[in-house]
Every structure is written in C-alpha cells, then in structure tokens.
C-alpha cells in the first residue's frame, strides 16, 4: 500500500515538475511596443522599438532569460536563424535578453555574435524587469520564450524550460504557415 501511494505521489510530483510554462502574448494579440537596446544586427548601439521598426514584417522574437542562457538554447536559436531566410526574404529574428545585469548583457552579446554569427537575428538587451517588456507577458520561469509575429499580430508563443535544436521543427512549421498566409 505504501509503495503504491509513494508511486502515485512521485508520478503526481513529476507531472507538476514538467508542466508547461505559459509565457508570451496570446495568438491574435496586437504586437506591443518593444523598446530595447540593439547590440548587433541592422541597428547597433542604439535604443529602438523593434516592434515599431518591424511593423507588419514576419518576425521571430526570442526572449532569452539571461540567467538561463545555455549552449543548447544557443544552438536552437542559431539553427532557427539559419532557416529564417527559407521562410521568406523579409523574415528576421530579434533576440531580447531579459533579466540579469543590463551592462553585462550588453558586453556579452557581441561575444556571442562573434562566436556564433547570427545572420538574420539581431541581439538586443531589455533594461528592466526579468519578466521583460510590459504587455509581452513574458514569464521569467521560462528559459526561452519564442513569439512568432506576422502582420503586426502574434501568431503563436512558445515557452521553453528546456530547449534544443530538435525544437526548431515545430517553431519553423508555424512560422512558414504564417508567412504563406500573407
């Protein structure tokens, strides 16, 4: 009896531990302002509202929990970055580091760019709360939140507590379907 009860409690506990984290705006939401400090990309060393800059263009926003950034996450982002051009010539990525120390994040991002060389993804830093920009609904419990936007509206948000390059397929599929609808 005790063994059965222990097994049930262990199963219930593990189910809670691996429950999905919700993060990011809901599908259909209008894209909110996204004021960040651009570090790399087409705009550098400047404060910019990337949502305003990108307007209706298809964009993949990566909200990176700076405290949880890892090699598997970096590989996921680089792999998806390499496929963005396949979804359309106007598709771009914007990676936003949230949490951690603003100045340290600003110093860190050029090192990542030099090492990895993102081609279609700008690296930026948000100066503020670990939950990211107001009205984006970022949950700091998520290690990475990916938000696909097209025509100024959210198509879908993905929240990852653990991510690797095998997750690219699902995100890329949603992106290509969204771009094709245009």
**CATH code, residues 21-181:** 3.40.30.10
pLDDT score of 6 more than 70: no
Mean pLDDT of 164-171: 94
With cut-offs at 50, 70 and 90, classify the pLDDT of residue 119: very high
Domain regions of the chain by residue span: 21-181
At 1 the pLDDT is 52
**Mean model confidence pLDDT for the chain:** 90
Q: Each residue of 125-136: pLDDT tens digit?
A: 999 988 999 899
At 146 the pLDDT is 98
Q: Each residue of 63-78: pLDDT tens digit?
A: 999 999 999 999 999 9
Distance (Å, rounded) from C-alpha 52 to C-alpha 152?
9
Q: Each residue of 28-48: pLDDT tens digit?
A: 999 999 999 999 999 999 999
Distance (Å, rounded) from C-alpha 34 to C-alpha 49?
5
- Helix/strand number for the chain, H first, E second: 5, 7
Token readout for 162 is: 């653990």
**Burial group, residue 133, by CB count within 10 angstroms (0-12, 13-18, 19+):** buried
With cut-offs at 50, 70 and 90, classify the pLDDT of residue 4: very low
């Amino acid at each position: 009896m005790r063994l059965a009860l222990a097994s049930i409690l262990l199963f219930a506990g593990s189910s809670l531990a691996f429950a999905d984290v919700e993060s990011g705006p809901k599908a259909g939401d209008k894209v909110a302002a996204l004021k960040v400090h651009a570090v790399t990309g087409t705009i550098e060393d400047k404060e910019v509202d990337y949502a305003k800059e990108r307007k209706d263009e298809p964009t993949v926003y990566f909200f990176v929990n700076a405290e949880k950034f890892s090699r598997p996450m970096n590989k996921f982002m680089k792999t998806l970055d390499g496929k963005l051009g396949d979804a359309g010539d106007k598709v771009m990525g914007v990676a936003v580091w949230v949490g951690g120390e603003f100045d340290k994040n600003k110093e860190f991002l050029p090192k990542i760019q030099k090492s990895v060389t993102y081609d279609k993804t700008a690296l930026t830093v948000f100066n503020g709360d670990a939950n990211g920009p107001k009205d984006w609904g970022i949950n700091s419990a998520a290690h990475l939140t990916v938000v696909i936007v097209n025509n100024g509206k959210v198509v879908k948000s993905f929240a990852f507590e653990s991510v690797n390059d095998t997750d690219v397929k699902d995100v890329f599929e949603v992106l290509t379907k969204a771009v094709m609808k245009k």
